[in-house]
Amino acid sequence: MRTPLLSPFRKTRPPSEPRIVRAGPSDNLRGTMLMVLSMAAFTCNDAVMKAVTQTLPLYESVALRGMAVLALMVAAALVQGDGLRLTVPRGDVAALVIRTAADIVSTLLYLLALRQMALADLSAIMQALPLAVTLAAALFFRERLGWRRLSAIGVGFLGVLLILRPGTGAFDTWSAVALLSMMLIVVRDIATRYFSRQVGSGTIAFHAALAVMLSGFVLGVGEDWRMPNLPEAALLLLSAGFLTVGYLTAVATMRVGEISFVAPFRYTSLVWAILLGLALFGEWPDGWTWAGSALVVGAGLYAILRERQLRGRG
C-alpha cells in the first residue's frame, strides 16, 4: 500500500479552514525523515553541478539538467500510478507564482555562488535557513516560539556572523549572493505552506523544475553552448536524479509536521557538504567556519530538545 511518504504526486484531502494544523509526533518523524533525505540529495546534486559547470556553461547545464529532471518526474508519477496534474485551483495561483519565482532566482543565485565557493563554506552559510524558516513560521503560522528557542536562534545567528565575517576579506560578493539565495529559499518554503491540500507535492515540484529549466534556456542565449561529452552528460543525468529526489522530498517536507520542528534537520546538509567537498574537491573548512557551524548546529539541536520537552509536558 502506498503512503504519502512514497507518493508525493497524490492529491490529499483538503483540510477545513483555517489552513494551520497541529502536527502529531508521527507527522514530525516523517517530516524529519524527508528533510534528511532531501538534504542528502540536494548536497549530492550540488557536488555534481559544481563539477560539471567547471567545463560546461552554467545555464546550458541548468537547461539540460532540467529536461532530465522533468522526464524523471513524469516517470515517477506514472510509476506511482497517481498521475500528475499540471493545473492548480484558482486560490493557489498566487502561492504558485510566488514560490516558483523565488525558486528560480534562488536556484540561479545559488549555482553562481557554488561555482566560486567551497562546497562546505556555501553549505555553512545556508545553515541560517532553519533559523530563518523557524522565525518565519512563528510569524506567518503562529507556531509557538518561547524565549529559550528565541535565544537559541540568536546564538545561531551569531554563528552565521562568524561564518560570514562581514567587514573582512572573507565576506565577498559570492557570500552575499549565497545569503540572498538563502533568503529567497525561506520565501519559497513559506509559500509552500499556503497551498491547499488539493495541490499535490509533485505538481508543485514539477512547476518549479519546469520554471528553472526554462530560465536556463532564456538566460543561456548569450552563452557558447556545445554538445556535452559523455562524462558531462553522465554527470548531468546523475544531477537530475539527485535533484528530482530533492525536489519531491523538499516540497513534501514543508507540508508534513511543524516547520519549527522539521527545519533544524537541514543541518545534516553540512555533514554531507564537508565530506563531499573533501573527497571530490580537496576542500576543508577553516577554523572560523567550524566555530560558526558549531554554534549554529548547537543552537538547532537545543531548539529540537526544547521542542521535545514542551511536547512531553503537553
**pLDDT by residue (tens digit) across 219-232?**
999 899 999 999 99
Tell me the C-alpha to C-alpha distance, in Å, between residue 224 and each of 55, 58, 240, 286: 12, 10, 22, 36
Tell me how far apart the alpha carbons of residues 311 and 305 are, in angstroms, rounded to a whole number: 10
With respect to residue 16, please indicate whether it lies within any of the assigned structural domains: no
Q: Output the CA torsion 301→289→35→260 (10° steps).
A: 50
- With CA atoms as reference, report the closest residue to 114 among 164, 187, 58: 58
With respect to residue 171, please indicate whether it lies within any of the assigned structural domains: yes
With respect to residue 15, please indicate whether it lies within any of the assigned structural domains: no
| Predicted local distance difference test score (pLDDT) of residue 19 | 44
With respect to residue 110, please indicate whether it lies within any of the assigned structural domains: yes
Half-sphere exposure of 285 (CA within 13 A, CB side): 25
**pLDDT by residue (tens digit) across 35-45?**
889 999 999 99
With respect to residue 234, please indicate whether it lies within any of the assigned structural domains: yes
* Alpha-carbon radius of gyration of the chain: 19
C-alpha cell at 211: 520554471
Q: Map residue 70 onto helix, strand or coil.
A: helix
| Predicted local distance difference test score (pLDDT) of residue 95 | 94
- With CA atoms as reference, report the closest residue to 177 among 244, 135, 233, 125: 125
Tell me how far apart the alpha carbons of residues 307 and 314 are, in angstroms, rounded to a whole number: 11
Domain count, the chain: 1
What is the end-to-end Cα distance of the chain in Å, rounded?
33
- Structural domain of residue 225, as residue ranges? 25-313
| Predicted local distance difference test score (pLDDT) of residue 172 | 83
- With CA atoms as reference, report the closest residue to 42 among 107, 117, 121: 107
| Predicted local distance difference test score (pLDDT) of residue 136 | 87
With respect to residue 262, please indicate whether it lies within any of the assigned structural domains: yes
**pLDDT by residue (tens digit) across 165-213?**
877 777 788 988 998 999 999 999 899 888 988 888 778 888 998 999 9
With respect to residue 184, please indicate whether it lies within any of the assigned structural domains: yes
- With CA atoms as reference, report the closest residue to 266 among 29, 107, 40, 45: 40
With respect to residue 267, please indicate whether it lies within any of the assigned structural domains: yes
| Predicted local distance difference test score (pLDDT) of residue 82 | 62
Using a 10 angstrom Cβ sphere, with 0-12 exposed, 13-18 middle and 19 or more buried, the burial of residue 44 is: buried
| Predicted local distance difference test score (pLDDT) of residue 62 | 96
| Predicted local distance difference test score (pLDDT) of residue 12 | 44
List the pLDDT tens digit at each of the 314 positions of the chain: 333 334 454 544 444 343 444 555 678 888 888 988 999 999 999 999 999 999 999 999 999 999 999 998 888 778 776 667 788 899 999 999 999 999 999 999 999 999 999 998 899 888 778 778 888 888 888 777 778 888 888 898 888 888 888 777 777 889 889 989 999 999 998 998 889 888 887 788 889 989 999 999 999 998 999 999 999 999 999 999 998 888 778 878 877 777 767 877 877 888 889 999 999 999 988 898 899 989 988 887 787 677 667 666 65
C-alpha cell at 238: 546523475
Tell me how far apart the alpha carbons of residues 139 and 188 are, in angstroms, rounded to a whole number: 15
Q: Map residue 32 onto helix, strand or coil.
A: helix
| Predicted local distance difference test score (pLDDT) of residue 2 | 35
Tell me how far apart the alpha carbons of residues 242 and 9 are, in angstroms, rounded to a whole number: 17
Tell me how far apart the alpha carbons of residues 76 and 144 are, in angstroms, rounded to a whole number: 37
SS (H, E, C) 215-267: HHHHHHHHCCCCCCCHHHHHHHHHHHHHHHHHHHHHHHHCCCCCHHHHHHHHH
| Predicted local distance difference test score (pLDDT) of residue 15 | 40
